[in-house]
Structure formats: structure tokens, C-alpha cells
Structure 1
Amino acid sequence: MAIKLQPAHADSAVLAQPTQSADEVYRKISLRIIPLILVCYFFGYLDRVNVGFAKLQMVSDLNLSEAAYGVGAGLFFIGYLLLQVPAGYLVNRLGVKLSLSASLVLWGIVSVATLLTSNETSFYALRFLLGVTEASFFPGVIAYFSIWFPSFRLSKVMSLLFLAMPLGVIVGGPLSGWIMDATHGGYGLRGWQWMFLLEGLPAIVLGVFLYFNVTGRIDEATWLSDSEKTLVKNEMAAESKGKRTSLLSAVREPALWILFATSFFYNVGNYGLVFWMPTMVKAMGSMSNLQIGLVSAIPYVVASVAMVLNAQHSVKTRERRWHTTIPVVLGGFALLGSVATQATPLLSVLCLTIGVAGIMCTLAMFWSLPSRILAGTAAAGGAGLVNIGAAVAGFVGPSIMGFLKQLTGNTSVGVGLLAVTLFIAGALILSIPRQYMSANQ
């Protein structure tokens, strides 16, 4: 009799645990898995966007036009796009451990190889290959986090992960500028070539290290007690009820396509700004590459704090819709303000700071939404599908900026267009069905 009652007793004990106990368990999990993924994502983001700093030298070294640079910067996302849904499938087949590790090692090799760029064709090819090799990393991270965290906790988790983006500029910007200035001409290499070499090698090392430090199943977590494992498994089991668990069923969900469209318009603004920020800052006055990196970092210092605070407030209040919408709309108005205040660099940087903060706040909130629709094998594939919108935008945003810069001689028209795409993203977020933004889920 006691044996029969034991499971029910155990379940009751788990269900009866106070919220603080669950918070402590998830804090323990977060400390275990998030820092390593954050460091890996930092170098992934750095290897993706450091071409914006390389542009300060390589455009003249290789005789690239502004439009050619914009296309090359965006070609990363074409390679990324083509592998998104297949990458989700590979994550499910190979497991998160091998998928994440292989992606890191391969993109590190391609990033290092970018120092061999000698003309427009090789620039295009290497940027495309970088996108291909990075394609499985983000779906792998989504699948990995979906093993451990229920969706209502994911906005905070994603805000911590996406700290890699502002850190990529806060740390990576000045670092890239310093490397380019300090190493220029060493051993016959240009500064931008040294930058690709020194910033690509860590990804290879991290890929090997990550393989031995990823726990892909709750039952394999030797660092959790049996009661902690049970608590997590119970929460995740309850979390998956009513969600799409296969990719084929997920693609019939209208809300998934709203997320796809939102991802596109939001990221046209996001990546258009990221890849052209150093050029915009350079236009404000005569500065060294290091100084450009430091000024470019200012908006991202503020954004990193705002992003975490916004996500924490959303978790505390259990409100999602306005925590996701207001920042991106505010970001659009701030970008327009940066154009209007171009004659006053201090005010322009202030507007860019507000714009970047708004964009980053929405980013963390947005990527907690797919897990409210998808579970099981659909998590990685569905995230990959939504990320296709971001990949297309990553090509469109920088390319449009490059074309308009070449056509008009400045970035004002391009930045105004980026603001419009952020307004459209805000409207799409408001159209997401209520049940996926509900505080009860």
C-alpha cells in the first residue's frame, strides 16, 4: 500500500513546493548552462558583425564599393537562411551537444579564413560560408533551453543569452578597433586580417570545450538531485500540454507565421543598424578605429541593462504584449530622432542609444514567444522557421543601407526606412493571438 501511494506523495510534494524553491532550482540550472552558452554566442555574434569594423579598412584595401560591402555583409544571412529548417532537423537527429559543438568549430575555421579575402568574390563566398556554419547554433540553443526552461521563464533566460549581442559591441567593438590599430602591418597582415584571425580562434576552442560540458537530458544532470529533476520534469510536462509538438502541425499554426513576419521586419531594423553603426559613428567626426569602437559601444551598454530589466519586469508582472511592443516602437522613433539630430553628435548618439535599447528589449521578449506555441521536436524546427525571417532581414537590411548610402551619399534615408520596419514589427506583435501573450501561460 505504501508503495502505491509513494508516487502520488512525491508528486504532491513537488506541486506543494513554494515558488521560491522552484526559483532556486532554476537559478541553479541557469548558473550551470547559461554562462557557457553566453560566451559561445558572444563569439558567434562577434564573428558575425566584426565585418562592420573590418569595413573601415578593407573597403579601401580591396576596392569594394559601399553597395558591395552591404551585399557581402548580408550574404551571411543567405547561407544562414538556407540551412535554418534543415538545421532544426539536424539538431533533433544529432542532439544539441554535437550540433552546438560542430557549429562553433566550423564557424571559427571560416572566420579565421576570412583573413584570406582578396577580392569581392572571395568576400562574398566566405560570408556565405560563415552563415552556413552558424546556421545550426541558434536552433540548437532554443532546443537546449526548451529542455530546461518553461516558456514563462524564457524571456528572462533569453535576455541573459542576448547579452552576447550588446557585449559583442561593448567589448568586441573597442577590441576590434584596438586589434586593427595595434597589429596593422604585423607579419605582412593588415589590421582587419589580424582581427579575423584573433577573434575566430576562440570559437574553435570553445566548440571542443562545449562538447564535454553540455547536458542534453534532465536525467543526465548529475549536478541535480532526484527531487530537483522531478520538479523540472513535472514543470516541463505541464508546459508541453496543448502545444504543437511536430513541425508539420506547427506550420499550420497562423501565430507561427505572424512571428515569422515580425522576425523579418524587426531584424531589417536591427541588422541594418548593427552593420552600419561604425560607419554612422565615423561620419560624426575624425576618430581612430578604437575611438569609433568605444562610441559605438555606448548604446549597447545602456541596452544590456535595459534588456534585462525589461525582461525581469515582464516575468514579475506576467505581462508580455506591451513589454514586447513598446520598446520596438520607441526604438523606431529614436532612430528618426538620430537622423533629425545629425548636426549635434551628442544628441544623435543619445537617440541611437534609446533606439538600440528599444531594439534589444524587444529581442529578448520576442524569442520567448515561439516556445509558447511549440514543444518537443517542433521547438528547434519552428525556431529555425521563424529565424528564416531574421535571416532574410539580415540580408535585406545591410543591402538596403548600402544601396541608399551609395545613392544618397549618407545614411539618413536608410535609417528612416529602418525605423518604419520597426513600426511594422510593433503592429504585428499587437496582432499575436491573446492566448500566446496571456499571463496564465
Structure 2
Amino acid sequence: MTAETLSTAQSRVELLDDVLYRKVNWRIIPLFIICFLFAYLDRVNISFAKLQMQSDLGFSDTVYGLGASLFFVGYFLFEVPSNILLHKIGARVWIARIMVSWGIASACMMFVSDEFWFYTLRFLIGVMEAGFVPGVLYYFTQWYPGNRRGRVNAYFKSSICLCGIVGGPLAGFILGHFDGMYGMAGWKWLFLLEGLPSIVLGVVVLWLLSDKIEDASWLTADEKRVLLERMASEPKPDSSSRFSDIWKHPVTYVMSAIYLCLVMALTGLLFWMPQLIKSAGVADTFDIGLLTMIPYLIAAVGNLLIGSSSDKRGERRWHMAGCASLTAGGYLLCAWFPGQLLPLMAGMSMILTGIIAWMPIFWTIPPRFLTGLAAAAGIALINSLGQLGGIIAPFMVGRIKDLTGSATPALYMLSAICVLATVLVIWGIPARYYQVKQ
């Protein structure tokens, strides 16, 4: 058989694979994108509720920052146990449970009347949501080979962009138009109306998902065989699949440190973005919501382009390092021009583009050295240790703002954290884990 014939046959196989994986994508990814959208709405709508809730309840910036952070305490404590249960019970049932319970907890935020219940419910939302993101990422490892996960993870993480595009105007609309309806403040309506859809989506997950390729009634026998062959051809990680294996790899701790920096960079902006825009002289809540769309729109495009580039080139290290550096530069820009809307918007766009494109590439690395139960628990461990950044950053920004009257010193600190992450990405992870089979 000639080289030209081999090349033609290979191209035909790749085309058929693309058609098959497109079918898989349409079944799985849109649903998870919508689920992640509401997960993030329920997680960060507190940043918009703050515009009314803080004055209604008399909370300081420190109280708000601590409440925002407590979500991540619950998330951290229950992340690994949640993913171990997901591995044993199955993704379909467990992810559905996560969504229903976090939707109920988030809607209950409308009943907050003092600091105690504010702290308690924020903690409970974190407990209920724990395991969702790493559970979905682990689920992808059961359906997609390594050379497709960068794009798939990018599609999934693009939900953060969708949250910003939809969430800001939606929150602004609810706060502005529902305030006072039936005697309820706008921020109470916000928690109620954004919590209920998660409960409905939990039922949809239970109905539509299949835990394994073999269980998918919507695939033909030949399609299942091809998918299983692609998964079987994956290079095997250089470890076994026991839970104890996650502690044996130094790279697990490096990955956790990188993700800690990433989450600090993300939450440092997410929970304070509306306030930064307000500090630039924008008073109307709906206008603030509309302006938060712009960085997310830019990040959505950047995320897909960078994720696709990483997969096509089979390169992870420098794509990740470039994203971390872009985030650092964005924080510097915001710090240099406080209270000036155009530089703030440019800086926030750089921050979100860097972070959101960084995440999906980052999550292609753990399956390179973990598999089976170790992969489920290891992804959860890295994610949960990283989520400590969500405890630190919002509280840090709020405390610094209370002490100094300005968020600028915190922005410089977040930029330095991104520089540290860049160093860890370049020198902290062995080159063999960046290799991608083409």
C-alpha cells in the first residue's frame, strides 16, 4: 500500500471519527454547558446581589468577602468525597443529585437576614455543589481520548463566558425590575429565580446522560465499538488506579498550587467585577450588568481559539504559560488605572481571556498520570486544593478595601500570583505530561 493510499485512508478514518464525535458532542456538551452556566450563576450572583443586599442588611466589605469565600470552604471539604461517590455510584445519578441540592440551597439565600445565615447558606451551597466540575471533567475522560479533551474542556469551560454574557444583564434586569414586587427586594428575587432552574436541570441530567459508552442507547453497536477502540488506544498513565496513588506524584501538588493561583485570579475578579465597574462611575445596575458582558464575550472567543490551537499543535506548556502571563498583565492594567472605565474593561478582558483559556488546557494534564479511581479522586483533590484560592481571594480583596479604601493593592497581589503560576507551569511539570498523542 502506497504512502498516498495510507494517507487517504487515515483522512477518511479521521473524518468518520469527527462525524461520530460530533454526535457525542451534541448529546453531552450542550447539557453540561447549561448546567455549568447555572452552577456559576448560583455561585457568583452574590456579586450582583451585593449591590442591594449589602446596604439592606448592613454588611461591611469584609463580611461580604468572607461570605463569598465560605462557599469554597464547603466546596474544599466535600470535593474529594463527592468524586469518590460519583465514581462508585455513577455520574448520571450523582451529578443530578448535586444540581438539585445546590439549586435548593441557592434559592434559600433569599431568606438571609443576618450574618449567621449569610455565612451558613454560602457554606452549604459549596457543600452541595462540591464535585460537579471535577465530576464532569472525569466524565469526559470516560468518553474522549486525550487529543480531543482540550477542545471539549474548552467548550465546557466556555460556560463561564456564557454566565458572564447572560448573567450580568439578567441579574441587572432582575434587580432593577423585580425590586419591590410582592414586597420582596430585588436581590431576593435574584436568588430565587436563578436557583430554581438548577433543580429542573438535575432531572434532565438523570434522563439524558449515560454513564458509559456501552450504556448509551442513542449510539449504534458500531459507533460504540469505534468509541471504545479509540479509548483503548489511549497511552496508559504511568501509575495504577488506586486512591492512594494520588499522593505519590509530586506533580499533583504542583498542579494544585497552579490551580490555587488560577482560582485566586478568577474569584478575585468575579466577586468584585460589578463593584470595580461601579467605582468607575457607572451607577445603574442594568448598565453594570451589560458592561460585564464585554470581557466575557472577548474571553469566549479567546478561549475557543487558544483551546483549538493547543490541540492542533499538541502543545500545552506554552499555551498555559501565555494565558497566565496575560492574566497577570490584565491585573496590572486594572491596578494602574483605577476608576477609569476603558482601561478597566481592557484589563478585565485580558484577565478573563487568560483564565478561561487556561482552565481547559490545565485539565488535560491530570489524566496523563492518573487513571480510574485515582483519576476521579485526583482531579477532585487538585480542584479542591485549588478552590482554597476562592477562600483567600474574595476575603483578601474585601479586607484590603476596608483597610485602605481601595482595591488597587489587592490587584497588584493578584498579578504577582499569576506570575508565580507562570513559573510553576514552565518549570514545575515534567515535559512528558505535556506531550499529546496526535
TM-score where L is the length of structure 2: 0.95
CA distance in 1, matches of 2:170, 2:267: 20
CA deviations over 1:44-63 (Å, ceiling 9, x no partner): 01100000000111111111
Q: Once the 2 structures are TM-superposed, how far is the Cα of residue 223 of structure 1 from its aligned partner? A: 2.1
How much has 1:355 moved relative to structure 2? 1.9
For residues 315 and 156 of structure 1, the distance between their equivalents in structure 2, rounded to whole angstroms, comes to: 7
Distance in 2 (CA, whole Å) between partners of 1:139 and 1:158 is 11
Cα 1:58–1:16 shift into 2, 3 Å: closer
Shift of 1:257: 1.4
Alignment of 1:404-419 (within 5 A): 404-419=400-415
Q: Is the 8 A contact 2:329 2:350 kept in 1?
A: no
Given candidates 16, 24, 30, the residue that maps to 1:21 is 16
Provide the rounded CA distance (Å) in 2 between the counterparts of 1:240 and 1:103: 32
Within the candidate set 419, 431, 436, 1:434 is matched to 431
CA shift, 1:214, in A, is 0.6
Deviation per CA, 1:339-365, whole angstroms, max 9, x where unpaired? 212253212211221221111111121
Equivalence map 1:130-141=2 (5 Å): 130-141=125-136
Q: TM-score, normalised by structure 1?
A: 0.94
Unaligned ranges ≥5, structure 1: 1-13
Deviations 1:245-295 (A, max 9, x none): 222112201111111111111111111111111111110003211111111
Gaps of 5+ in 2: 1-8
Match of 1:306 in 2: 302
Q: Which residue number corresponds to residue 214 of structure 2?
A: 219
**Aligned match of 1:231:** 226
Q: Match for 1:165 among 160, 183, 197?
A: 160
Q: Does 1:271 align with 2:267?
A: yes
Alpha-carbon deviations, 1:170-216, whole Å to 9, x = none? 10011001101100011111000000000000000111111011111
Secondary structure at the residue paired with 1:357?
Answer: helix
Matching residue of 1:116:
111
Conserved 8 A contact 2:276-2:339: no
Aligned with 1:368: secondary structure?
A: coil
Aligned partner of residue 25 in structure 1, secondary structure: helix
Q: Which residue of 2 aligns with 1:8?
A: none
Partner secondary structure for residue 103 of structure 2? helix
Cα distance in 1, alignment partners of residues 172 and 262 from structure 2: 28
Aligned to 2:191: 196
2:152 and 2:192 map into 1 onto residues whose CA distance is 31
Partner of 1:35: 30
Q: Residues of 2 paired with 1:427 and 1:199: CA distance?
A: 39
Runs of 4+ residues over 4 Å off in structure 1: 14-17
Deviation at 1:75, TM superposition (A): 0.2
Shift of 1:240: 5.5
1:290 matched residue in structure 2 = 286
What is the match of residue 256 of structure 2? 260
Matched to 1:174, the amino acid is: P
1:369 maps to 365
Give the count of matched residue pairs.
Answer: 428
Look up the equivalent residue of 1:136 and give its one-letter code: G
Percentage identity across aligned positions? 38
Does the 8 A contact of 2:147 with 2:437 survive in 1? no
1:210 corresponds in structure 2 to 205
Equivalent residue, structure 1, for 2:3: none
Residue of 326, 346, 369 corresponding to 1:330:
326
Please point out which of 49, 63, 80 is paired with 2:58.
63
Report if the CA contact (8 A) 1:337-1:351 is conserved. yes
* Structure 1 match to 2:345: 349
Encode CA deviations 1:214-240: one digit per residue, 9 max, x unaligned: 111111112222222122112212326
